[in-house]
A and B are shown apart, each in its own frame.
Chain A
Amino acid sequence: GQSLEQPSEVTAVEGAIVQINCTYQTSGFYGLSWYQQHDGGAPTFLSYNALDGLEETGRFSSFLSRSDSYGYLLLQELQMKDSASYFCAVRVYGQNFVFGPGTRLSVLP
């Protein structure tokens, strides 16, 4: 079957850089997505990697390496409002999205 693994919790301070890793065991997939979810809120789309390499969107960047079955989300210049849960997800061939368990990021002042 398909599975994704993420660290359960990450803590960092304002202004720092943090990397949230996602490793996966899955058959072919279209791409790797990242979603952010604040407590009590809906998941919101952050980024998508269809190809290997780095995608940059403002303070957030995402990376994919299919050969290593690995991706990560990089958050720079952390702000308090970045405290949330972050989910990686893959869109598997012939199926729909499979989500990782989520990483809870706490940003400290």
Chain B
Amino acid sequence: ETGVTQTPRHLVMGMTNKKSLKCEQHLGHNAMYWYKQSAKKPLELMFVYNFKEQTENNSVPSRFSPECPNSSHLFLHLHTLQPEDSALYLCASSQGLAGETQYFGPGTRLTVL
């Protein structure tokens, strides 16, 4: 049971494709996050938004482009990805940046061919 939904759950794309990942939270939170989870590696924070404003970009390549139209929705636009970008992409939200708890969505399993 989660108040954070992500679509699609699985995505296969070629290196020349353009696709978008969507995240929606139904918890009334103000902060939203994108994480990358690769096999055998820790969760990597990619982007942080607070009240729709980007507050952090963890040196993420420009082929990943986030968008946050409002506090409930978060997108990750993908273009010209590399095979090493294949991973589980997780969205999370919290009640402000000081929130001690993050609520995660189920993730999108991305495979880049």
Contacts and interface: CB of A to CB of B under 8 A. Distances in A.
A61 B41 CA distance: 25
Contacts of A42: 2, 4, 90, 104-107
A102 B103 contact: no
Interface string B95-109: 001101111111100
Nearest to B56: A96
Given A41-B106, A45-B103, A48-B100, A96 B48 contact: yes
Contact of B45 (A35, A48, A50, A97): A97
Interface in B57-106: 90, 97-98, 100-106
Contacts of A97: 45, 102
Nearest to A8: B40
Interface residues of B, number: 21
Interface centre among B2, B42, B56, B97 (most CB of A within 10 A): B42
Nearest to A46: B101
Interface in A41-61: 41-45, 48, 50
Nearest to A88: B42
Nearest to B98: A30
Nearest to B31: A96
A93 to B, nearest CB: 11
11 contacts: A33-B101, A42-B105, A42-B107, A43-B102, A44-B104, A45-B103, A48-B100, A96-B45, A96-B97, A98-B45, A99-B43
Interface of A: 4, 30-31, 33, 35, 41-45, 48, 50, 87, 89, 91, 95-102
